[in-house]
Structure 1
Amino acid sequence: MSCPDSLPEHVLSLLKTSKYLHLATCSKPECIPSVSLMNYTYISPEKVFVADKEKGATGERRHYIIMATQRDTEKYENIAQNPEVSVLIHDWVTAKKLSLRKSSMSNTPTPEPQSAAAAAAAQNPDHPSRLLNLLQELNQSELSQMSATLRGRAEAVDPSSEEFRYYEEALLKANPDAGVYTKGQNVAVVKVRLESAKVSDRENNTSFYD
Structure 2
Amino acid sequence: MSCPASLPEHVLSLLKTSKYLHLATCSKPECIPSVSLMNYTYIPPHKVYNSHDETAEEYQKEEHYIILGTQKDTAKYANIQQNPEVSVLIHDWVTAKKLSLRKNSQSNTPTPEPTGIQNADHPSRLLNLLQELNQSELSQMSATLRGYAESIDPTSQESKYYEAELLKTNPDVSVYIEGKNFALVKVRLENAKVSDSENHTRFYG
TM range (shorter): 0.7 to 0.9
Q: Please give the residue correspondences for 1:106-117 in structure 2 after superposition, counting only pairs within 5 Å.
A: none
More helix per residue: 1
2:147 corresponds to = 152
**Structure 1 residue ranges, 4+ long, deviating more than 2 angstroms after superposition:** 51-60, 94-104, 121-124, 139-145
Task: Output the CA distance in 1 between the equivalents of 2:64 and 2:5.
Answer: 10
Return the TM-score normalized by structure 1. 0.78
RMSD: 3.4
Tell me, which stretches of 5 or more residues in structure 2 are unaligned? 119-124
* Pairwise CA distance, 1:148: 0.7
Given that residues 56 and 62 in structure 1 are in contact (C-alpha distance below 8 angstroms), is that contact kept between their aligned partners in structure 2? no
User: Does structure 1 residue 197 correspond to structure 2 residue 192?
Assistant: yes
* Pairwise CA distance, 1:181: 1.6
CA shift in 2, pair 1:34/1:50, >3 Å: same
- Per-residue CA distance 1:1-34 (angstroms, 9 max, x = gap): 2111110111111100000000000000000111
Letter in 2 for 1:38: M
1:113 corresponds to = none
CA shift in 2, pair 1:195/1:96, >3 Å: same
Q: What's the secondary structure of 1:36's corresponding residue?
A: strand
2:69 corresponds to = 68
Task: Output the CA distance in 2 between the equivalents of 1:55 and 1:33.
Answer: 38
1:164 corresponds to = 159
Given that residues 143 and 203 in structure 1 are in contact (C-alpha distance below 8 angstroms), is that contact kept between their aligned partners in structure 2? no
Number of aligned residue pairs: give it.
Answer: 194
1:15 corresponds to = 15
Task: Output the CA distance in 2 between the equivalents of 1:90 and 1:30.
Answer: 29
* Pairwise CA distance, 1:206: 1.1
Identity, % of aligned positions: 68
CA shift in 2, pair 1:198/1:144, >3 Å: closer
Task: Output the CA distance in 2 between the equivalents of 1:146 and 1:52.
Answer: 39
Task: Output the CA distance in 1 between the equivalents of 2:25 and 2:52.
Answer: 23
Given that residues 140 and 194 in structure 2 are in contact (C-alpha distance below 8 angstroms), is that contact kept between their aligned partners in structure 1? no
* Pairwise CA distance, 1:185: 1.5
Tell me, which stretches of 5 or more residues in structure 1 are unaligned? 105-118, 127-131
CA shift in 2, pair 1:55/1:5, >3 Å: farther
Given that residues 45 and 53 in structure 1 are in contact (C-alpha distance below 8 angstroms), is that contact kept between their aligned partners in structure 2? no
Given that residues 92 and 145 in structure 1 are in contact (C-alpha distance below 8 angstroms), is that contact kept between their aligned partners in structure 2? no
1:86 corresponds to = 87
Q: What's the secondary structure of 1:153's corresponding residue?
A: strand
Structure 1 range deviating more: 94-103 or 179-188: 94-103
Q: What's the secondary structure of 1:65's corresponding residue?
A: strand
